[in-house]
Amino acid sequence: MPTYTLGQLKDEVYSRLENNTAFYTEAAVTNALNEACCIFNANTGMLQDSFPMFSVANRAIYDVPRELILPIRIQFEQRYLEPWGLNNTGNANPNWMLQNWRQQNTPPSYWISIGNTKFGLNPADSYGGRTIVVTGVIEPEVLVDDDQLIQFPDEYSTVLVNYAAHILNLPEGGASFQQSLPLYADFMQEVSIATIYKSLKTRASKATERITN
Protein backbone atom coordinates (compact mmCIF):
# COMPACT_ATOMS: atom_id res chain seq x y z
CA MET A 1 0.00 0.00 0.00
CA PRO A 2 1.24 3.54 -0.70
CA THR A 3 2.50 5.56 2.22
CA TYR A 4 3.65 8.79 0.57
CA THR A 5 1.39 11.81 0.98
CA LEU A 6 0.86 14.87 -1.16
CA GLY A 7 2.69 16.95 1.44
CA GLN A 8 5.74 14.69 1.25
CA LEU A 9 5.76 14.77 -2.54
CA LYS A 10 5.52 18.58 -2.51
CA ASP A 11 8.55 18.73 -0.22
CA GLU A 12 10.46 16.48 -2.65
CA VAL A 13 9.52 18.69 -5.60
CA TYR A 14 10.67 21.81 -3.76
CA SER A 15 13.99 20.13 -2.99
CA ARG A 16 14.57 19.89 -6.75
CA LEU A 17 13.59 23.54 -7.18
CA GLU A 18 16.09 24.87 -4.63
CA ASN A 19 13.19 25.32 -2.18
CA ASN A 20 12.05 28.37 -4.12
CA THR A 21 8.61 28.82 -2.56
CA ALA A 22 8.40 32.42 -3.76
CA PHE A 23 8.53 31.57 -7.46
CA TYR A 24 6.77 28.15 -7.26
CA THR A 25 3.51 28.37 -5.34
CA GLU A 26 2.04 25.42 -3.49
CA ALA A 27 -0.90 25.44 -5.90
CA ALA A 28 1.44 25.20 -8.88
CA VAL A 29 3.37 22.31 -7.32
CA THR A 30 0.14 20.49 -6.46
CA ASN A 31 -1.13 20.93 -10.02
CA ALA A 32 2.16 19.63 -11.40
CA LEU A 33 1.95 16.53 -9.20
CA ASN A 34 -1.63 15.88 -10.28
CA GLU A 35 -0.55 16.15 -13.91
CA ALA A 36 2.33 13.76 -13.19
CA CYS A 37 -0.10 11.20 -11.74
CA CYS A 38 -2.45 11.48 -14.73
CA ILE A 39 0.30 11.25 -17.36
CA PHE A 40 2.06 8.37 -15.59
CA ASN A 41 -1.16 6.43 -15.17
CA ALA A 42 -2.36 7.04 -18.73
CA ASN A 43 0.95 5.76 -20.08
CA THR A 44 1.26 2.74 -17.80
CA GLY A 45 -2.33 1.67 -17.10
CA MET A 46 -1.39 1.09 -13.47
CA LEU A 47 -4.66 2.12 -11.81
CA GLN A 48 -7.46 -0.22 -12.82
CA ASP A 49 -10.98 -1.17 -11.82
CA SER A 50 -13.72 -3.52 -13.09
CA PHE A 51 -17.37 -2.78 -13.83
CA PRO A 52 -20.16 -5.28 -14.58
CA MET A 53 -22.82 -4.85 -17.24
CA PHE A 54 -25.26 -7.08 -19.10
CA SER A 55 -25.36 -8.17 -22.71
CA VAL A 56 -28.21 -7.24 -25.05
CA ALA A 57 -29.49 -9.85 -27.50
CA ASN A 58 -27.65 -9.63 -30.84
CA ARG A 59 -25.88 -6.39 -29.93
CA ALA A 60 -22.32 -6.31 -31.26
CA ILE A 61 -21.15 -2.90 -29.96
CA TYR A 62 -21.29 -1.57 -26.38
CA ASP A 63 -20.32 1.60 -24.52
CA VAL A 64 -17.35 1.38 -22.19
CA PRO A 65 -18.37 2.24 -18.59
CA ARG A 66 -17.90 5.97 -18.16
CA GLU A 67 -15.63 5.47 -15.13
CA LEU A 68 -12.95 3.98 -17.40
CA ILE A 69 -10.61 5.94 -19.63
CA LEU A 70 -9.50 2.82 -21.51
CA PRO A 71 -10.74 -0.81 -21.52
CA ILE A 72 -8.02 -3.44 -21.28
CA ARG A 73 -9.76 -6.75 -20.41
CA ILE A 74 -13.27 -8.07 -20.89
CA GLN A 75 -14.99 -11.12 -19.41
CA PHE A 76 -18.15 -12.76 -20.68
CA GLU A 77 -19.80 -15.05 -18.13
CA GLN A 78 -16.54 -15.17 -16.11
CA ARG A 79 -14.44 -16.14 -19.15
CA TYR A 80 -11.79 -13.76 -20.48
CA LEU A 81 -12.23 -12.87 -24.14
CA GLU A 82 -9.34 -12.54 -26.59
CA PRO A 83 -8.62 -8.96 -27.72
CA TRP A 84 -8.74 -7.88 -31.37
CA GLY A 85 -7.86 -4.58 -32.95
CA LEU A 86 -10.62 -2.90 -34.97
CA ASN A 87 -8.65 -2.53 -38.21
CA ASN A 88 -7.33 -6.08 -38.20
CA THR A 89 -10.76 -7.42 -37.30
CA GLY A 90 -12.37 -5.58 -40.20
CA ASN A 91 -9.75 -6.88 -42.63
CA ALA A 92 -9.85 -10.48 -41.38
CA ASN A 93 -13.59 -10.74 -40.68
CA PRO A 94 -15.58 -7.94 -42.40
CA ASN A 95 -18.96 -9.36 -41.31
CA TRP A 96 -18.14 -9.61 -37.62
CA MET A 97 -20.94 -7.20 -36.57
CA LEU A 98 -23.54 -9.51 -38.19
CA GLN A 99 -22.37 -12.70 -36.49
CA ASN A 100 -24.05 -14.04 -33.37
CA TRP A 101 -23.92 -16.99 -30.98
CA ARG A 102 -26.65 -19.02 -32.74
CA GLN A 103 -25.15 -18.59 -36.20
CA GLN A 104 -21.61 -19.43 -35.11
CA ASN A 105 -22.64 -22.06 -32.56
CA THR A 106 -20.25 -20.50 -30.05
CA PRO A 107 -20.58 -17.84 -27.35
CA PRO A 108 -18.67 -14.55 -27.60
CA SER A 109 -14.98 -15.36 -27.81
CA TYR A 110 -13.36 -12.04 -28.76
CA TRP A 111 -13.66 -8.39 -27.89
CA ILE A 112 -12.84 -5.60 -30.31
CA SER A 113 -11.36 -2.33 -29.13
CA ILE A 114 -13.16 0.63 -30.74
CA GLY A 115 -11.33 3.67 -29.42
CA ASN A 116 -11.57 4.46 -25.73
CA THR A 117 -15.34 4.64 -25.41
CA LYS A 118 -16.75 1.57 -27.19
CA PHE A 119 -16.00 -2.12 -27.64
CA GLY A 120 -17.44 -4.96 -29.68
CA LEU A 121 -18.21 -8.63 -28.97
CA ASN A 122 -17.75 -11.37 -31.53
CA PRO A 123 -19.89 -13.26 -32.03
CA ALA A 124 -22.68 -11.25 -30.44
CA ASP A 125 -24.71 -12.81 -27.65
CA SER A 126 -27.95 -14.08 -29.19
CA TYR A 127 -29.79 -14.31 -25.86
CA GLY A 128 -28.99 -11.24 -23.77
CA GLY A 129 -28.85 -10.78 -20.01
CA ARG A 130 -25.41 -12.38 -19.69
CA THR A 131 -22.77 -10.83 -17.45
CA ILE A 132 -20.00 -8.79 -19.04
CA VAL A 133 -17.22 -7.43 -16.83
CA VAL A 134 -15.11 -4.63 -18.28
CA THR A 135 -11.73 -3.96 -16.66
CA GLY A 136 -9.83 -0.83 -17.58
CA VAL A 137 -7.73 2.13 -16.59
CA ILE A 138 -9.28 4.68 -14.23
CA GLU A 139 -8.35 8.26 -13.47
CA PRO A 140 -6.23 8.79 -10.35
CA GLU A 141 -7.81 10.67 -7.49
CA VAL A 142 -7.10 14.39 -7.54
CA LEU A 143 -4.56 15.29 -4.84
CA VAL A 144 -5.84 18.17 -2.71
CA ASP A 145 -4.94 17.69 0.96
CA ASP A 146 -1.37 17.40 2.21
CA ASP A 147 -2.18 14.22 4.16
CA GLN A 148 -3.76 12.54 1.13
CA LEU A 149 -2.02 9.32 0.10
CA ILE A 150 -0.90 8.75 -3.47
CA GLN A 151 -2.39 5.72 -5.23
CA PHE A 152 0.82 4.44 -6.75
CA PRO A 153 3.37 2.12 -5.12
CA ASP A 154 6.14 3.88 -3.22
CA GLU A 155 8.78 3.09 -5.82
CA TYR A 156 7.13 5.46 -8.28
CA SER A 157 7.05 8.49 -6.00
CA THR A 158 10.42 9.71 -7.27
CA VAL A 159 9.23 9.38 -10.87
CA LEU A 160 6.21 11.58 -10.16
CA VAL A 161 8.34 14.14 -8.37
CA ASN A 162 10.81 14.27 -11.26
CA TYR A 163 8.07 14.89 -13.81
CA ALA A 164 6.49 17.64 -11.69
CA ALA A 165 9.82 19.38 -11.18
CA HIS A 166 10.56 19.22 -14.90
CA ILE A 167 7.29 20.78 -16.08
CA LEU A 168 7.56 23.51 -13.45
CA ASN A 169 10.86 24.46 -15.05
CA LEU A 170 9.39 24.69 -18.55
CA PRO A 171 8.39 28.39 -18.37
CA GLU A 172 11.88 29.36 -17.23
CA GLY A 173 13.73 27.85 -20.18
CA GLY A 174 17.48 28.31 -20.45
CA ALA A 175 19.81 26.60 -18.00
CA SER A 176 17.05 25.65 -15.55
CA PHE A 177 15.14 23.83 -18.26
CA GLN A 178 18.25 22.07 -19.54
CA GLN A 179 19.12 20.91 -16.04
CA SER A 180 15.64 19.42 -15.62
CA LEU A 181 15.78 17.31 -18.82
CA PRO A 182 17.36 14.30 -17.02
CA LEU A 183 14.32 14.30 -14.71
CA TYR A 184 12.04 13.89 -17.72
CA ALA A 185 14.30 11.21 -19.21
CA ASP A 186 14.04 9.26 -15.95
CA PHE A 187 10.26 9.62 -16.04
CA MET A 188 10.02 8.23 -19.59
CA GLN A 189 12.33 5.34 -18.77
CA GLU A 190 10.21 4.31 -15.80
CA VAL A 191 7.05 4.60 -17.90
CA SER A 192 8.48 2.22 -20.49
CA ILE A 193 9.28 -0.31 -17.76
CA ALA A 194 5.99 -0.04 -15.88
CA THR A 195 3.58 0.05 -18.85
CA ILE A 196 1.09 -2.77 -19.31
CA TYR A 197 0.34 -1.89 -22.92
CA LYS A 198 3.24 -3.82 -24.47
CA SER A 199 1.89 -7.12 -23.20
CA LEU A 200 -1.65 -6.22 -24.26
CA LYS A 201 -0.47 -5.37 -27.78
CA THR A 202 1.36 -8.70 -28.02
CA ARG A 203 -1.76 -10.63 -26.93
CA ALA A 204 -3.93 -8.79 -29.44
CA SER A 205 -1.47 -9.48 -32.27
CA LYS A 206 -1.37 -13.18 -31.49
CA ALA A 207 -5.17 -13.37 -31.36
CA THR A 208 -5.41 -11.70 -34.77
CA GLU A 209 -2.90 -14.15 -36.21
CA ARG A 210 -5.13 -17.03 -35.09
CA ILE A 211 -8.22 -15.74 -36.89
CA THR A 212 -6.38 -14.96 -40.13
CA ASN A 213 -4.72 -18.38 -40.42
pLDDT band at 212 (very low <50, low <70, confident <90, very high): very low
> How far is 6 from 14, CA to CA, in rounded Å?
12
The answer on pLDDT for 202 being more than 70 is no
Each residue's pLDDT tens digit, 25-67: 999 999 999 999 999 999 899 999 999 999 999 999 999 999 9
Domain ranges of the chain: 6-46+142-197, 48-138
Residue 47 sits at the vertex; the CA angle it makes with 43 and 49, to the nearest 5 degrees, is: 130
Q: Considering only residues 57 and 212, tell me which one the structure prediction assigns the higher pLDDT.
A: 57
> How far is 42 from 102, CA to CA, in rounded Å?
38
Each residue's pLDDT tens digit, 130-172: 999 999 999 999 999 999 999 999 999 999 999 999 889 776 6
Q: Of 176, 162, 195, 140, give the one whose Cα is nearest residue 9.
A: 162
The answer on pLDDT for 13 being more than 80 is yes
> How far is 60 from 13, CA to CA, in rounded Å?
48
pLDDT band at 127 (very low <50, low <70, confident <90, very high): very high
pTM of the model: 0.80
CB atoms near residue 10 (< 10 Å): 20
pLDDT band at 87 (very low <50, low <70, confident <90, very high): confident
According to DSSP, the residues that pair with 70 across neighbouring strands are: 137
pLDDT band at 101 (very low <50, low <70, confident <90, very high): very high
